[in-house]
Amino acid sequence: AMRALATYVQERGMALRLARLPSNSSLSRVAAPLAESGWSVRVAPDGFCPFIRLAGHSWDSFLSTIGPAHRATTRRRLRALEKNFTMRFERVTDDAMRQYALAKLFDFHQARFGRRGTAFHTNLLRAFHLDVTDRLQKAGVLRLFMLRLNGDLVGVMYGMSFKGRFYFYQHGYDPQFQSHGIGRAVLDLSIRAAIEEELAEFDLLYGGEAYKSAWTNERRPLTRIDMFPAHLGGRIHQHAVETERTLRAFARRVISDHAPQTS
Quick: pLDDT tens for 51-60: 999 999 999 9
Spatial contact of 230 and 39, defined as CB atoms under 8 Å apart: yes
- Would you state the pLDDT for residue 231? 58
| Residue 240 in this model has a pLDDT that exceeds 60 | no
- Would you state the pLDDT for residue 55? 97
| Residue 252 in this model has a pLDDT that exceeds 70 | no
| Residue 241 in this model has a pLDDT that exceeds 80 | no
At 262 the three-state DSSP class reads coil
Nearest partner of 199 among 55, 61, 49, judged by Cα: 55
The residues pairing with 40 across neighbouring beta strands, listed in sequence order, are 228
| Residue 243 in this model has a pLDDT that exceeds 90 | no
In whole angstroms, what is the distance from residue 178 CA to residue 74 CA?
A: 15
In whole angstroms, what is the distance from residue 31 CA to residue 75 CA?
A: 47
DSSP 77: H
**Chain-centre distance for alpha carbon 188:** 16
H/E stretch holding 243 reads helix 232-258
In whole angstroms, what is the distance from residue 3 CA to residue 17 CA?
A: 16
| Residue 254 in this model has a pLDDT that exceeds 70 | no
Residue 224, number of CB atoms within 10 A of its CB: 16
- Would you state the pLDDT for residue 262? 34
Spatial contact of 209 and 48, defined as CB atoms under 8 Å apart: no
Confidence of residue 251 (pLDDT cuts 50, 70, 90): very low
- Would you state the pLDDT for residue 118? 84
Q: Which of 56-60, 204-208, 253-257 has the lowest mean pLDDT?
A: 253-257
Q: What percent of the chain has pLDDT over 90?
A: 62
